[in-house]
Amino acid sequence: MRRTVLFAVAACVAFVGPLVSGATSRSVWAKPAARREISPHITLRLRYKTGPWVTNLSVKLPKYQLETYKVCGVWNWPDERRFTCLGAGSRLPEGTAMRMEQSPIAKALRRSDSPGWGMVGLSPDPVIRTPLSNTVTGNRYGTFYYRVTLRNASGKTLLTSNRVQLVWRRP
């Protein structure tokens, strides 16, 4: 029993010794993922019912029946983490807002500062969650695209997210 305890203590000292003496590799002292400097970006995903967050979605559209889905954009979401539509811990730049947009416009709000895209959501927060349905797409079959733009107070686009695609297909 005494040998086992001595062996365990010796193993701990052998492992911890280089860490304390400063003979460690640089990766031990690297900044955690949440604290690293990252270039500003917006990550955008779609979700149907309780399915996974995806960039392409194909859904059967039964005419005249409500079908809902969610579109979510997050400011500075870390690439190495699984997308969950929660804040990543960083704030939007002062005086900016995120705008969720749809193309073709269909029943979305037409804006002169983004031709070809209609507004379906607006948020001053680093997360924009937009629950949508087939009514905003005009209850039509076809392909619709979504994007999020970061805009200043005058409406000028400062940054654009990736595009995601929703396809309404016949049942």
**What does the pLDDT read at residue 24?**
39
**What does the pLDDT read at residue 132?**
97
- DSSP label at 2? H
**What does the pLDDT read at residue 37?**
62
**What does the pLDDT read at residue 112?**
94
What stretches in the chain show pLDDT beneath 50? 1, 4-9, 12-31, 33-34
Please check whether residue 37 is in contact with residue 76, taking contact to mean a CB–CB distance below 8 angstroms. Answer: no
Distance CA 72, CA 42 (A): 10
Please check whether residue 39 is in contact with residue 77, taking contact to mean a CB–CB distance below 8 angstroms. Answer: no
Q: Which residues contact residue 23 at a Cβ distance below 8 angstroms, ignoring those fewer than 6 apart? A: none
**What does the pLDDT read at residue 39?**
87
Tokens of 74: 């997050």
**What does the pLDDT read at residue 58?**
97
**What does the pLDDT read at residue 86?**
87
**What does the pLDDT read at residue 32?**
52
**pTM for the model:** 0.77
**What does the pLDDT read at residue 89?**
76
